A and B are shown apart, each in its own frame.
Chain A
């Protein structure tokens, strides 16, 4: 988190598909986790197009979030976490770019540093020492208690996927009964912005 911000780039980030990709990088057989972001027209069926692409071509979706980000221009942003070899991830980006309502696709993993966050609501039921311990761990994770009864808490925890995973793991022996997660929202660091 203490990363020093890079110098602001003046030019807006343009589409990734303007040139060819180095061959050596594509032959790498290691599987990577990639966070992709896409700006799309907020129209009926656009999410079905994205999901259909992934299921139809057998790509992984680890997490997918979508929400309108520009009401005037009817733009939504899709944040997508996937994993695959370089070749597969390049395919995913190219296939996404082919969808007509997609304005731009960005690889937040490849194209420089980025921040990724998700929010989870975690319901923990218990009494006595376990309940106290849950509250204590909640504190350590800077989780907010957003609902409470004499037997339960609902924690709101925000962070990267690993932090949320860790919190949930710790809550399991303390009476965790239900989890609701938003999936990842991500954005590149620095002054440059994705333009639709």
Chain B
């Protein structure tokens, strides 16, 4: 077998005269397939098992490789790239630890339905199963955290598998796909085949997601909508994944019907936040008016959201009086958590367009009298001003910092990423999005350490955009090493740390659920973030005076280099409004004076 390792490189196949295509090395097939699939950027980290691919990468110029500092960062960066562009993000890591380090990122992409193709190196086929150096059962490990995965044992299957991987990653409900590539396959000679085109492209042997909805389902949905008295659109990441067509159709349908609209954390930006029909985010830390509208509506139109537990709260009390319409491309999302009245399987864009066409063709008009009353209710809920906070004295409130960031960056092409915790929820509440693909946050998995690498991915895709990672001081330390990536590739990402010296959300739950026993949630011995930034070659700024927040943000924007801003904020501030775990939407707490100091008991205590 050792002889197989030394395979001569074939002559360049650019003469174009011979009829039969020249065989190529597996590694060349990989790069050719990436090129054909339109990949411009590869996020990766080299290692023994992928050296042949890195060698080919060295010899070409069409694909840019972004060297990260940890493989988890590579996957999050690819997610940021994918979410800010709508394209497939692409990752290249080595075998063993390279693959296992990527697992968190893959799971994150699976939970949030982000299209990723991750190439992992593998030990040579004859060593698989022998506990070889840097061997891991990558397909076994990644089976539950990918949409699909492959182990390529035959170099002649490599091109087909690569094309199929991209098709599966981006089609239907998008997700991560792993291609595990043994080193000997990368070094063997094989035949390249081009990607299937035209009708062939849509005709995968088994995987054919249903894009066009059943007309009867669309009709049932539109009829329900037309007869609604207290309707509500509830949209999710599916609309953003379905692309600009879906976003345009959603906006038109919402305006035409005059219905209010709310959205999940994942769906922010699909409907403009400045519009009067927008109620803000729904869910555990969603807006009061959005949650009460969810609870009291009579027809709920769910487009591309999945009735996640962060949205529904206690299922027994979830929107008890409503008929529910659920549009999803994934049949398994239907009736999973909540049994719905009308299920529509299809692509959000196509379904929304068909709904729109039918609504117009039938000349439907909402019951204006009822709708007026419904909007009056909503106006009363809005009047509670649930995001109110007091910026007084000499300490910066975290909400204030984010609100100022919003005011000072909203007129730019700004992309916001976040880590996970209180700052993430405040960002979702106080940063208002007018466009899709501008907001990247780890919604399903809740991955601390997501924001910085995701910002790097977004900045690569949008070199002239302003990319800000709204971070917490605990989360940012989980992937702080990626500052080095930003410096190396001259990416002017901004890290805006809301520093309260606590794992804020953990502390908040300990306060509410565990009698204020702050077990291990205080981050003792934090680094000096300004010096840390400087050590990495970034610019470090610190602000602790509310009066200086604006000038600090302006300086951050003005510096065309990676910047870390340490915003020293109130340590005790909690994230409100909040639906305590185990409670219903209409039992929302608006603040500490609203019973937020009462301990949560019973089944709510056991929920996450």
Q: Interface of A with B (CB < 8 Å)?
A: 17-21, 23, 26-27, 41, 44-45, 48-49, 52, 56, 87, 90-91, 94-95, 97-98, 100-103
Cβ contact within 8 Å between A19 and B214: yes
Which of A20, A21, A45 makes the CB contact (< 8 A) with B143? A45
Q: Mark B328-345, 1 if CB is under 8 A from A, else 0.
A: 001110111001111111
Q: Mark B192-212, 1 if CB is under 8 A from A, else 0.
A: 000000000000011100100
CA–CA, A49 and B341, complex, Å: 31
CA–CA, A41 and B150, complex, Å: 13
Interface status of B148 (Cβ within 8 A of chain A): yes
Cβ contact within 8 Å between A20 and B206: no
B220: nearest chain-A partner, CB-CB: A20
A91-B335, A101-B206 given; A19·B216 CB < 8 A: yes
A-B contacts, 26 listed (Cβ < 8 Å): A18-B210, A18-B345, A20-B217, A20-B334, A20-B340, A20-B343, A21-B335, A23-B339, A23-B340, A23-B341, A26-B339, A41-B205, A41-B206, A44-B151, A45-B143, A49-B143, A52-B144, A90-B335, A91-B335, A91-B336, A94-B330, A94-B331, A98-B331, A98-B332, A100-B147, A102-B206
A18-B210, A18-B214, A23-B340 given; A100·B143 CB < 8 A: no
Cβ contact within 8 Å between B206 and A91: no
Cβ contact within 8 Å between B206 and A87: no
A41-B205, A52-B143 given; A94·B334 CB < 8 A: yes
Which of B330, B335, B344 makes the CB contact (< 8 A) with A98? B330
Interface status of B416 (Cβ within 8 A of chain A): no
CA–CA, A100 and B139, complex, Å: 14
Which of B143, B168, B217 makes the CB contact (< 8 A) with A48? B143
A92: nearest chain-B partner, CB-CB: B332
Cβ contact within 8 Å between A27 and B206: no
Interface status of B527 (Cβ within 8 A of chain A): no
Residues of A close to B334: CB separation below 8 A: 20-21, 94
Interface centre among B140, B168, B205 (most CB of A within 10 A): B205
CA–CA, A44 and B143, complex, Å: 12
CA–CA, A98 and B333, complex, Å: 11
Report A173 CB to chain B, min CB distance, Å. Answer: 44
A17-B345, A20-B217, A48-B140 given; A100·B148 CB < 8 A: yes
Cβ contact within 8 Å between B332 and A97: yes
A100: nearest chain-B partner, CB-CB: B148
What 10 A-B pairs are tightest by C-beta distance, nearest first?
Answer: A20-B343, A94-B332, A100-B148, A17-B331, A94-B331, A26-B339, A100-B207, A95-B332, A103-B206, A19-B214
Report B518 CB to chain A, min CB distance, Å. Answer: 33
CA–CA, A87 and B338, complex, Å: 10
Report A176 CB to chain B, min CB distance, Å. Answer: 37
A19-B217, A100-B168 given; A87·B335 CB < 8 A: yes
Report B218 CB to chain A, min CB distance, Å. Answer: 11
Cβ contact within 8 Å between B344 and A20: yes
> Other than the known A18-B210, A20-B217, A20-B334, what 12 A-B pairs have Cβ atoms closer than 8 Å?
A19-B217, A19-B345, A20-B344, A21-B334, A27-B339, A45-B139, A45-B151, A49-B143, A91-B335, A94-B330, A100-B207, A103-B206
Which of B140, B151, B332, B345 makes the CB contact (< 8 A) with A20? B345
Report B595 CB to chain A, min CB distance, Å. Answer: 34
CA–CA, A56 and B142, complex, Å: 13
A26: nearest chain-B partner, CB-CB: B339
Cβ contact within 8 Å between B343 and A21: yes
Residues of A close to B140: CB separation below 8 A: 45, 48
CA–CA, A52 and B147, complex, Å: 13
Among B512-568, those with CB < 8 Å from A are none
A99: nearest chain-B partner, CB-CB: B148
B140: nearest chain-A partner, CB-CB: A48
Residues of A close to B217: CB separation below 8 A: 19-20
B147: nearest chain-A partner, CB-CB: A100
Among B206-243, those with CB < 8 Å from A are 206-207, 210, 214, 216-217
Cβ contact within 8 Å between B330 and A20: no
CA–CA, A26 and B143, complex, Å: 29
Which of A17, A26, A41, A48 makes the CB contact (< 8 A) with B210? A17
Residues of B close to A49: CB separation below 8 A: 143
B216: nearest chain-A partner, CB-CB: A19
Residues of B close to A91: CB separation below 8 A: 332, 335-336
CA–CA, A97 and B341, complex, Å: 22
Interface centre among A17, A19, A27, A102 (most CB of B within 10 A): A19
CA–CA, A91 and B333, complex, Å: 8
CA–CA, A27 and B335, complex, Å: 10
CA–CA, A20 and B340, complex, Å: 10
Residues of A close to B144: CB separation below 8 A: 52, 56
A24: nearest chain-B partner, CB-CB: B339
Report A69 CB to chain B, min CB distance, Å. Answer: 15
Report B158 CB to chain A, min CB distance, Å. Answer: 15
Residues of B close to A20: CB separation below 8 A: 214, 217, 334, 340, 342-345
Residues of A close to B147: CB separation below 8 A: 100
Report A29 CB to chain B, min CB distance, Å. Answer: 11
CA–CA, A26 and B206, complex, Å: 27
CA–CA, A101 and B207, complex, Å: 8
Residues of B close to A95: CB separation below 8 A: 332
